[in-house]
C-alpha cells in the first residue's frame, strides 16, 4: 500500500508512514476498501423512502450496520425509521 499523505510505498503491516510519520489508515490506502459510504444522493433517497416506508430504513440500516464504512449513516437511518415508526403508530392509534 501507499501513504495517503506523501505517496511512499509502505509495508502492508505498517501503521505509521516511515517517510512522513503520519498514521496509516488501512481504509484509505491503495487496497480495495471494505465498503463505501452511501453517497449524498443515496442518503437523501434512503431517508426519503424511510419517511414514507419506515421498514425500508430499518432493513437498509441493519444491512448498513454490517458495513464498517456505512455504520454512522446506517445508525442515522435506523434512528429516523424508528422515529417514523412511532409517529405512524401514533397516527394509526389516533393518539
Distance between the two ends of the chain, CA-based, in angstroms? 57
56 with 81: CB under 8 angstroms?
yes
d(CA 49, CA 41): 12
Q: Which of 34, 47, 94 is nearest to 74 (CA)?
A: 47
Q: To the nearest whole angstrom, how small is the minimum distance from the Cβ of residue 42 to Zn ion?
A: 32
Closer residue to Zn ion (CB): 14 or 76:
14
Establish if 16 lies at the interface with Zn ion (CB under 5 A): no
Q: Which region, judged by CB under 5 A, interacts with Zn ion, from 12-20, 27-35, 54-62, 72-80? A: 12-20
Reading the block at residue 52, the C-alpha cell is 414514507
Q: Does 17 bind Zn ion (CB under 5 A)?
A: yes
For Zn ion, which residue of 9, 15, 16, 20 counts as binding (CB under 5 A)? 20
Return residues touching Zn ion (CB under 5 A): 3, 5-6, 8, 17, 19-20
Amino acid at each position: 500500500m501507499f501513504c495517503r499523505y506523501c505517496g511512499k510505498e509502505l509495508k502492508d503491516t505498517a501503521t505509521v508512514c516511515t517517510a512522513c510519520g503520519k498514521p496509516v489508515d488501512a481504509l484509505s490506502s491503495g487496497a480495495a476498501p471494505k465498503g463505501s459510504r452511501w453517497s449524498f444522493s443515496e442518503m437523501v433517497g434512503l431517508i426519503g423512502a424511510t419517511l414514507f416506508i419506515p421498514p425500508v430504513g430499518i432493513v437498509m440500516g441493519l444491512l448498513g450496520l454490517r458495513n464498517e464504512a456505512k455504520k454512522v449513516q446506517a445508525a442515522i437511518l435506523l434512528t429516523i425509521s424508528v422515529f417514523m415508526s412511532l409517529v405512524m403508530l401514533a397516527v394509526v392509534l389516533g393518539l
